[in-house]
Structure 1
Amino acid sequence: MEMDNLGDAEEAHMLNGSVSESLNTDRATLDDGYEAEEPASQEQEGFLQHVSSQKTHFTDFEGKTSFGMSVFNLSNAIMGSGILGLAYAMSNTGIILFVILLICIALLSAYSIHLLLKCSGVVGIRAYEQLGMRAFGPAGKILAALIITIHNVGAMSSYLYIIKYELPLVIQTFLGLTEKTGDWYLNGNVLIIIVTILIILPLALMKHLGYLGYTSGFSLTCMVFFLCAVIYKKSVIPCPLNNSTSTEHFTYTNGYNATEEQCKPKLFTVNTESAYSIPIVAFAFVCHPEVLPIYTELRRATKQRMQNVANLSILAMFIMYLLTAIFGYLTFYGRVESEMLHTYMLVDPLDTLMLCVRLAVLVAVTLTVPVVLFPIRRAIQQLLCPGQDFRWWRHILIAICLLFAVNLLVIFIPNIKDIFGVIGATSAPSLIFILPSIFYLRIVPTEKEPLFSRPKIQAAIFASLGFVFMIMSLSFIIVDWVTIGKSNVGGH
């Protein structure tokens, strides 16, 4: 009888252990999409210890940012100065071809984020640089950090360039001045320093990216106002316009004349500028350096929850991009400038509505700079002091040095458009296509997904597409330098 009781107890214990192991395995499967491996080796035991301690190494706190604020932050990271060039891209591809291109880039961007989140879930890491470390060792970590730094410094510089050249014109118009004077408040170099110290730096000194959700929401509101103005202007600006036409004081200057034939929308078109449409659209969706920091700070963070944040953000920006491009193109057709706001100013430099729109765009790009700065600071910290506890002096020092360097770049280099073209043609495809794919191929274990499995074949093709895109973009830029002497590539 006693032996029977012992046997029953042992059987019950084994059953409980089996159920517990099954629940743990199911939980791991739900979290990461892969079954949990038994820690049968020292390497696996070390890996599990690494996962359990990753919160102290890669996050300073438990995620507290809500789903909505995360969507605002990621949408603000996606939204860039590239939106001003989308109507120009449509004019050089046609409506149908542009819509196909926009859909493809949006889907590819979402797939790229899916690969990043898969890698992050497998190894328990939520830092882009540490994914590079896990995949290729120190060389991978350095490569990822450098690409993120180069791309985001270029993005910050492009935003400050918009402030440098647009803010003096806005102030000049508000003051009713017909000519630019030598006063300090009309000096773009002085104005970007003032804006950096008074607005950008205080926001960049915040400890957590999640706090910028409020400014990101306001920034997106400014861009929605820009979109509404573009839609409204389609109904009040007639086509064709010529120098003798006057409708609500809208007249083209600088010989901007349009005929009836030029006012017909084109569904498909190919010209010498069509090749630049792909970089313009692709750069407008670059947000990948910000994905993992936002994932780190997301409340109740799971892979699926963060993927939903990314999908919703990309969908919202896709709608904004599409509407901006369509209504901007249907207003000016083939006459739209590569920077759309400039086209409206050619129609009427004193237009009050478009003046407010320019001011709203200035506010939007100003509030975007701190969001872009966060991944650069994280990359520098991962290179110089990985695993160290948070220190306010280091947090502040890196922000000040970065903003100081970017301001110097914007002030002393008169035209870095071509440099931005090269940076965009190399860093953007690396962040969207190449790095997420090769990380996925290296990090996801072959026993879970063999090298010739469908997901890994797709990732390999995705990486190859990135290399093709990079070579093609650089080739067009070089040809443009040789034949025209300037680059027309727009960036994020």
Structure 2
Amino acid sequence: MAEARSQHAGHHQAGVEPASTRDPEAEALLFDDEASSIGEEEEAPANVLSKPSPAAAAPGASNNNRASTPTAAQQQQHQHQHSQQQRAPRTPPPRVHFDPNPTILQGRTPNGYANSFDSHRRSSSYDDEYAPGRDSLDDLDFQIDDGAHGGQHRTPLLTGIEAPSVALANGAWGGGSDDEVQSWAEGERQRPKSGLRSAFMNMANSIIGAGIIGQPYAFKQAGLLSGVILLVGLTVVVDWTICLIVVNSKLSGANSFQGTVEHCFGRSGLIAISLAQWLFAFGGMVAFGVIVGDTIPHVLQAIWPGLSDMPVLGMLADRRAVIVIFILGVSYPLTLYRDIAKLAKASTLALISMVIILITVLIQGIMTPSADRGSFTTPTLTINTGIFQAIGVISFAFVCHHNSLLIYGSLKTPTIDRFSRVTHFSTGVSMLACMLMALAGFLTFGDQTLGNVLNNFPADNTMVNVARLCFGLNMLTTLPLEAFVCREVMLNYYFPGEPFNMNLHLIFSTSLVVSAMVLSVMTCDLGSVFELVGATSACAMAYILPPLCYIKLTSRSWKTYVAIGVVIFGCCVMVISTFQAVGKIIKGEGGVAQCM
């Protein structure tokens, strides 16, 4: 019996191996069967207590009968008990090792579950409608370099990525109890999810924004032929990197773009993605302020022809005064909201405004007299000198990578294949809209095309003024959304996990709006803003960080070499476009000082 116990103890000790020697596939099986194994271990003591062995139940009887000779029936029963004791215990498959130490259970994640495997199991069993089907990522081999474990681990496919209200509210629980977090998360999972059509509308609205107004200027910078090629080619690249955001998030186990980059590159990666997102959002705030100054004064002067001669109200005819008055009077109060959901209706206004602007440019471009049209040269029709600056302008329009996981989480059945269809359709429709805007504006005004193509039309054009009014009001309500992103990035970076502080909220909100407003007043050329923001933060989020994470997370294949090529392309565009845009501003080339 002592020998049997020693063998059993040896077998038990051999079943527990260090984390560094475990097989990655066995590690995944370990967590998949975690709940069942724990249940079996908890049942074992109950069985022992309910069915004690004869020796344990009657020790006195065993001592009294020690000298007596056992009968044949007793010998047969003793042999049966001995064979039961010698029978090998029930063990898991050879490649799976169960550690009975309860400390292997991980702490709860922000979504309220013990780990992402448990989250996957619960969300899959909740409702078949929400259960993810098999997608194209199931057969992908990948590697994750986890310094904490010193080995490669195979992680699950995420299904718990939530929609915007969930992702933004995750940080609000702070040190709340696990029961509160789990109860809240279960309630959020019962929210109605969106289908493919709604997801397409959300993504298309994210792409077709203020950047569409600068597409004719991009064609002027690059040339007509190269502009068409760039628009199509960059659409394909952006489409692929948008999908990479979700793929990387699945491979890393993170539920945000920031979390994925931090998982791959640590603190330096978090700094890089935070800086890129902040610069892109802040650059958008500056661009929106410039658009307000380019649109609202024209509309007000068209309504009141003698506005500029009025004593006090005459300041509404000046773009600088309009920027200050409207941003502080409309955008700033909206920026003070803590809940971004209160600004959700702005997306509907944005989409309607873009449609009105596109139709206006198409119709008024055809009706523009020949005296107001621009001229064309061989470079403007083929390949022009500002091709890298054009890449920045196009990239500014198409970057929606910071919203990709939110759109993915809103799908009823979130899989890579379904999200890819949404992405392909959204980027395709957005490319057609940008192509129509670029061709209509550039073929009308040629080498005279401005960064804001609406400024090429006369100030007294009624249809254009309606488009200007829609565009300006849209920017006033969209600027707070970008301020919200900037504020959240700053709070999460400098004060992670801390409760809400009204003083910090007011300080960050005020400083962001005022600084963006001042830069908008000082900046006259919208194209320069598009170039700088597109060359820096847009390139980082679209062409550099997603492929870098993919290279880090996957094993070498032909796709990783494509990702390497995209990273090199993004770095070259970032360096060259930034130097060209800054040099153009310093030298005053291209009419950048024009204020209207």
TM range (shorter): 0.7 to 0.9
Contact 2:211 2:530 in 1 (8 A): no
1:341 shift after superposition: 1.0
Deviation string 1:44-95 (CA, Å, 9 cap, x unpaired) is: 999989x899989875264756355554443333234332232233345554
**Cα gap change, 1:341/1:54 in structure 2, threshold over 3 Å: closer, same or farther?**
closer
The alignment status of 1:461 with 2:559, answered yes or no, reads: no
Q: Does 1:286 align with 2:399?
A: yes
Which of 111, 119, 126 is matched with 2:240 structurally?
111
Alignment partners' CA distance in 2, 1:303 and 1:390: 35
Separation of aligned partners in 2, 1:294 and 1:27: 15
2:455 to 332, 342, 356: 342
1:440 aligns with 2:550: yes
Please state how far the C-alpha of 1:174 moved relative to its aligned partner: 1.1
- 1:90 and 1:412 map into 2 onto residues whose CA distance is 26
Q: Deviations over 1:423-472 (max 9, x none)?
A: 43222211111111112222x1xxxx32x312222211111111111122
SS of 1:278's equivalent? helix
CA distance in 2, matches of 1:74, 1:288: 10
For these two proteins, the number of residue pairs brought into alignment is 456
In the alignment, is residue 237 of structure 1 matched against residue 368 of structure 2? yes
Structure number with the bigger relative contact order (C-alpha 8 A, sep ≥ 6) is: 1
Q: Deviations over 1:211-264 (max 9, x none)?
A: 6443212211111011111222244234xx23xxxxxxxxx4xxx786xxx6x9
Q: Does 1:192 align with 2:323?
A: yes
Residues 214/414 of structure 1: CA separation in 2 closer, same or farther (3 Å cut): closer
What is the letter of the counterpart of residue 569 of structure 2?
Answer: L
Correspondent of 1:130 among 254, 259, 267: 259
Is the alpha carbon distance of 1:477 and 1:265 closer, same or farther for their aligned partners in structure 2, counting shifts above 3 Å?
A: closer
Partner Cα distance (1:266, 1:289) in 2:
35
Identify the range of structure 1 (430-439 vs 182-191) with the bigger mean alpha-carbon deviation: 182-191
Give, in angstroms, the shift of residue 149 of structure 1: 0.8
Q: How does 1:246-395 map to 2 (within 5 A)?
A: 252=372, 268-295=381-408, 301-345=414-458, 349-388=459-498
Q: Whole-Å Cα distance in 1 between the matches of residues 301 and 352 of structure 2?
A: 25
User: Cα gap change, 1:441/1:392 in structure 2, threshold over 3 Å: closer, same or farther?
Assistant: farther
Range moving further from structure 2, 351-360 or 228-237: 228-237
- Output one character per residue of 1:131-188: Cα deviation in whole Å (capped at 9) or x when no partner: 2221111121112111211221111111112112431232122111274656343354
Q: Which of 357-366 and 56-65 deviates more? A: 56-65
Distance 1:382 1:46, change over 3 A: farther
1:83 — aligned with what?
212
Tell me what 1:149 maps to.
278
Against the structure 1 CA distance between its residues 172 and 423, is the aligned structure 2 distance closer, same or farther, given a 3 Å change threshold? same
Cα distance change on mapping 1:316 and 1:195 into 2, 3 Å: farther
Deviations 1:256-288 (A, max 9, x none): 786xxx6x9999423344553322222221222
- Which has the higher mean CA deviation after the structures are superposed, 285-294 or 215-224? 285-294
Shift of 1:293: 4.5
Q: 1:164 aligns with which of 287, 293, 310?
A: 293
Query: Residue in 1 aligned with 2:194?
Result: 66
How far apart, in 2, do the equivalents of 1:136 and 1:257 lie?
49
- Distance in 2 (CA, whole Å) between partners of 1:408 and 1:267 is 34
With normalisation by structure 1, the TM-score equals 0.75
Compute the displacement of 1:368 (Å): 2.5
Q: What is the one-letter code of the residue matched to 2:350?
A: S
1:220 and 2:351 aligned: yes
Question: Which shifted more, 424-433 or 290-299?
Answer: 290-299
1:102 matched residue in structure 2: 231
Deviation, 1:298, is: 5.7
Q: Give yes or no for contact 1:200–1:370 (8 Å, CA) kept in 2.
A: yes
- 1:4-43 to 2 correspondence within 5 Å? 30=135, 33=138, 43=149
Q: Is the 8 A contact 1:58 1:126 kept in 2?
A: no
For 1:333 and 1:315, how far apart are their aligned partners in 2? Answer: 25
Residues 314 and 36 (structure 1), Cα distance of their counterparts in 2 relative to 1, 3 Å cut: closer
For residues 424 and 366 of structure 1, the distance between their equivalents in structure 2, rounded to whole angstroms, comes to 21
Paired with 1:114 and 1:411, the residues of 2 have a C-alpha distance of 37
Q: For 1:116, what is the secondary structure of its paired residue?
A: helix
Q: Aligned partners of 1:298, 1:397: CA distance in 2, in Å?
A: 36
**Normalising to structure 2: TM-score of the pair?**
0.63
Amino acid at match of 1:229: T
Larger CA deviation: 61-70 vs 220-229: 61-70
CA RMSD of aligned residues (A): 4.8
Distance 1:371 1:265, change over 3 A: farther
Percent identity of the aligned residues? Answer: 22
- Corresponding residue of 2:74: none
The code of the aligned residue for 2:280 comes to H
Comparing 153-162 and 267-276, the one that deviates more: 267-276
Residues 388 and 128 of structure 1: CA distance in aligned 2, closer, same or farther (over 3 Å) = farther
Q: Does structure 2 conserve the Cα–Cα contact (< 8 Å) formed by 1:433 and 1:463?
A: yes
1:137 aligned counterpart, secondary structure: helix
2:194 is matched by which residue type in structure 1? S
Letter matched to residue 378 of structure 1: E
Q: Can you list the C-alpha shifts for 1:104-137, whole angstroms capped at 9, x where unaligned?
A: 1111111111121111112232323222221111
- The amino acid across from 1:383 in the alignment is Y
**Higher gyration radius (CA):** 2
Q: Which consecutive residues of structure 2, in runs of 5 or more, have no partner in the other structure?
A: 1-79, 82-88, 97-116, 125-130, 171-184
Q: Deviations over 1:299-340 (max 9, x none)?
A: 655444444443333223212111111222333344433431
Output the amino acid matched with 2:572.
V
Take 1:335 and 1:408, find their aligned partners in 2: how far apart are those partners? 27
Q: What displacement does 1:99 show?
A: 2.2
Report which stretch shifted further, 357-366 or 306-315: 306-315
Determine if contact 1:227/1:324 at 8 Å carries over to the other structure: yes
Is the CA contact 1:163–1:362 (under 8 Å) kept in the aligned structure 2? yes
Q: Which moved more, 1:385-394 or 1:216-225?
A: 385-394
CA distance 1:313–1:53, change in 2 (3 Å): closer
